[in-house]
Structure 1
Amino acid sequence: MKNKFPKNFLWGGSTSAYQFEGMFKDETKKADSIMDNFINNNLQNSYFEIASDHYHNWKNDIALMAEMGFKCYRFSISWPRIIKNLKGEVNEKGIEFYKNIFLELKKYNIKSVVTIFHFDYPLFINEIGGLQNKEFINQFKKYSKILFENFGQLVDYWLTINELCNFYFAGEIIGLNVKKDSKEIWQIIHNLNVAQAEAINLCHEMIPNSKIGPAPNVKPIYAGSTKPIDNIARLNLNNFRNWAYLDVACKGEYNKFFINYLKKNKQMFSITEEEKMILKKSRPDFIAFNYYSSNTVKISTQTNDFNKKWDQENGILIDNFACQIKNENLDKTQFGWEIDPIGLRIILREVYDRYNLPIMITENGLGAYDEKTLDNKIHDQYRIDYYKKHLEQMSLAIEEGVDLIGYMPWSAIDLVSTHQGIKKRYGFVYVDINDNGEGSLERYKKDSFYWYQKVIQSNGGEL
């Protein structure tokens, strides 16, 4: 059976600024980032200073994307590369860098899918108390306005905030040091939601016919048994993991289960009537989501350390709420992430049924220990097999009625994984560099490069 994808389906790939560009602060006048602090504190062995040095290799990198046949490229703009300080002074070098990228993409007829904020906020935000100060919302709105003014006619699709939920689930690896069972963490999440709504409203006001949407990380949630109480655990986590973020983005208000949970546990954030109006006014044009895996849960009555067990890497456990368990039906990656292609089809249907908005998948991929042979080949059949299975399920979801408009795997080219560094490789193109910043930075096409090229040429007909 041939797989079916829409005629104008957006095939592409994804990256993010801090993981791909490299910093080069002295050369580029880039402001300090929260991710600089992350490196200086040596929280893990990731060399963001150089990363994949896209900053100096952008022309070659875009040419490689064009050779694969990309119809679109999803990437982020680095906030500290654009804005110098709290006053909002603009770094013209940053504007020039991204403008050149947009023009190069247009040369190859590659549409741009641009994330406004992908984790790396400027360190000067901490001068106002960080993300939990409501002044953050104004700073984000000012930054968004500058992007719309400078790039509004060059960008095809805007994404607001990458994986907003992971400021909660994985805050410690993106510079946050806030307890997860506190009002403070939910104030941060709320401020991000209002900032997102402000950006959506502003985009529609400033750029006629613009398209903008949220970019959450989503997971289908399975009950770990046929016990009815375990299905309650599934509902609990599904709401907390997925709908709490998408409901407010797409429906303009928080759902009652989420708010009741926060009030019951004395974690309710501060929200004003003006903020409620901002949220209500905001309406995205589509949903972009990142998908890697599913969660399987049972109910938990056990007492454990909350902070250590509410984490996307190490598992989830909240008393009388949900406890993540191993799914014996799923294989795992080399890095322990469960592989669930059918889960992608499930979450596509759930999200589309709930919101009835077009969907693009902006991250999905396999992190692995890729090895380059002596003749500079990378035989990553495991990655090809991974993508084949996911694309088959996407095709079935489309047949079942899901309005899926694009697929941008993570990642277009090797970059630094926030969790495990450059050794955890995702790209269709291998970058010769290690976690100590050593290597030639040469680009080498993997076997998956040529496979994906054929997939795009056949519009997904040949996997």
Structure 2
Amino acid sequence: MEKRGFGASPQAGPGGSPADPWGGAPSSAHEATMTASLAPLPRDFLWGVSTSAYQIEGAVRDDGRGPSIWDTRCLMRGKIGTDETGDVACDHYHRWPEDIALMRELGVDAYRFSVAWPRIFPRGRGRLNPKGLDFYDRLTDAVLDAGITPWLCLYHWDLPQALQDLGGWTNRDCAGWFADYATVVARRLGDRVKHWITFNEFSVFTMFGFAIDWSAPGITDRQAHLKAIHHVNLAHGAGVDVVRALVPGAVIGAVHNRQQVFPEGELEIHREAAALLSEHWNDVFPDPQLLGYYPERTAQAIEPYVQAGDMARICRPVDFFGLNHYGPIFARADPTWTWGYAWGDAPEGRVNPEIGWAVFPEVFRDELITLTQRYGLPVYITENGCGGGTDAPDASGAVHDPHRIAYLKLYQDALREAMAAGADVRGYFVWCLLDNFEWGSGYAQRFGLVHVDYETLKRTPKDSFAWYRALMAATRAGER
């Protein structure tokens, strides 16, 4: 996702005061207590890594691919870091055999990747591009040959620009265009791919694309935001029905980012702003998709765009809840922003300088428990990880990233605490396999387990790569 300003308030979760994970090593007594309270994960727990098409593939003009809204945004001065583009990214489109070999060396069970809609339909609809489908055919076969289970995401933000020219997600017809695209992909790959994700992080690309100018297409308009929310929900429902009909034995879900939202201060205006941001961020997609209704603040505002039968079209049976989580959000009131809420700052002294946001693993723990109680679905953590702009090879060529290992350890402990409290978590995917194009941050943030030299495109596994491999091996052996 676009990792912007994750923070949190000083409020404690159910366990008491938030821990300070970066304030020094825990005491041996604390360590012993934590170890004793955390049972091993099940041996069949699913381990994986995630990527997305636009962030790693590059080759944006190769083999008939059409432009996406992100290709357009990258041409706009000042929108992406220091004006980088995804034109080359990690060149995964040409180097995928090397990247699959890295995953086999890492030892993951599953690989979550996305298909680029503009590779399949260069103009979003109409003329099909066989070479685009051929690429994902080869990729899928190679992943399976490596003993890894493919988890395919149909949409990770790269809407064809030709559809945006027709209104994109503000046009109700876009839900039908998505269903047509999903039909082609399901028919081509459904004989081998059995795990399907309709969308990645609904609220991020709709909020940052239609209410806050942090993402493509960069619109800031309340009604456009509401239309996009509803039409994307309709597209999700249509996508579920398409895959269910065309892929025997399909396991279908969607990926939601959920982060608790805290007010920046005690004033009522900040509390109200945080409550509305929380609804837009956390609830306007999973609630209608899984419960059949929009949350209170949004329901009345979105009513003009809801037609008879829409909620039944949206609320389709799925098999799992995909969760992307990095850290909580800190919010404040600001009337100059589209909805009156704005991203706030984390409490002073709580931001880790290595990754740029405050770290609260107990909020992750509580979210996993809440999801199980609220929606009653098995949960797969489809993204978790941390960035760092300082990852670089040393004189010996090794890439040391202790901040990432520290972060992942904390969140692994929080995961086990949640499961001990009843959270039904079945798997965990690290974001990301490779350093890549991080949307508005360009190439400044490095989230990968594998370092990518953007000049030579050389891949170098980091220390966290070896740590994650050892963690998976220990789990399979029945250890903590």
TM superposition score normalised by structure 1: 0.88
Q: CA deviation at 1:232?
A: 6.5
Q: CA deviation at 1:236?
A: 4.3
Q: CA deviation at 1:169?
A: 2.8
Map residues 156-235 of structure 1 onto 2, 5 A cutoff. 156-171=194-209, 172-180=213-221, 182-222=222-262, 235=275
Secondary structure of the equivalent of 1:307? coil
Deviates more, 1:228-237 or 1:247-256: 228-237
Contact 1:252 1:283 in 2 (8 A): no
Aligned twin of 1:406: 427
Q: CA deviation at 1:338?
A: 2.0
Contact 2:451 2:461 in 1 (8 A): yes
Aligned-partner residue type, residue 290 of structure 1? N
1:443 pairs, out of 459, 473, 477, with 459
Q: CA deviation at 1:243?
A: 1.6
Contact 2:194 2:249 in 1 (8 A): no
1:285 pairs, out of 319, 323, 337, with 319
Aligned-partner residue type, residue 108 of structure 1? A
Unpaired stretches in structure 2, ≥5 consecutive residues: 1-34
Aligned-partner residue type, residue 346 of structure 1? D
Contact 2:208 2:216 in 1 (8 A): no
Contact 1:333 1:366 in 2 (8 A): no
Unpaired stretches in structure 1, ≥5 consecutive residues: 316-323, 434-438
2:100 pairs, out of 37, 40, 62, with 62
Distance in 2 (CA, whole Å) between partners of 1:128 and 1:168 is 17
Distance in 2 (CA, whole Å) between partners of 1:78 and 1:41 is 21
Distance in 2 (CA, whole Å) between partners of 1:374 and 1:185 is 49
Q: CA deviation at 1:401?
A: 1.1
Aligned twin of 1:100: 138
2:371 pairs, out of 342, 346, 351, with 351
Aligned-partner residue type, residue 380 of structure 2? M
Q: Does 1:88 align with 2:112?
A: no
Q: How many residues align?
A: 436
Aligned twin of 2:397: 376
Q: 1:183 to 1:295 in 2, by over 3 A?
A: same
Map residues 9-408 of structure 1 onto 2, 5 A cutoff. 9-25=45-61, 27-42=62-77, 43-44=79-80, 45-171=83-209, 172-180=213-221, 182-222=222-262, 235-260=275-300, 262=301, 268-280=303-315, 282-297=316-331, 300=333, 304-307=335-338, 310=341, 315=343, 324-328=344-348, 330-334=350-354, 336-369=356-389, 370-408=391-429
Contact 2:292 2:314 in 1 (8 A): yes
Sequence identity (%): 29
Secondary structure of the equivalent of 1:249? helix
TM superposition score normalised by structure 2: 0.85
Distance in 2 (CA, whole Å) between partners of 1:269 and 1:110 is 45
Contact 2:215 2:440 in 1 (8 A): no
Contact 1:34 1:174 in 2 (8 A): no
Contact 2:450 2:461 in 1 (8 A): yes
Secondary structure of the equivalent of 1:199? helix
What per-residue deviation string (whole Å, max 9, x for no partner) do you get for residues 294-327 of structure 1?
02457x5xx631239745xxx1xxxxxxxx4533
Secondary structure of the equivalent of 2:257? coil
Aligned-partner residue type, residue 250 of structure 1? L
Q: 1:444 to 1:275 in 2, by over 3 A?
A: same
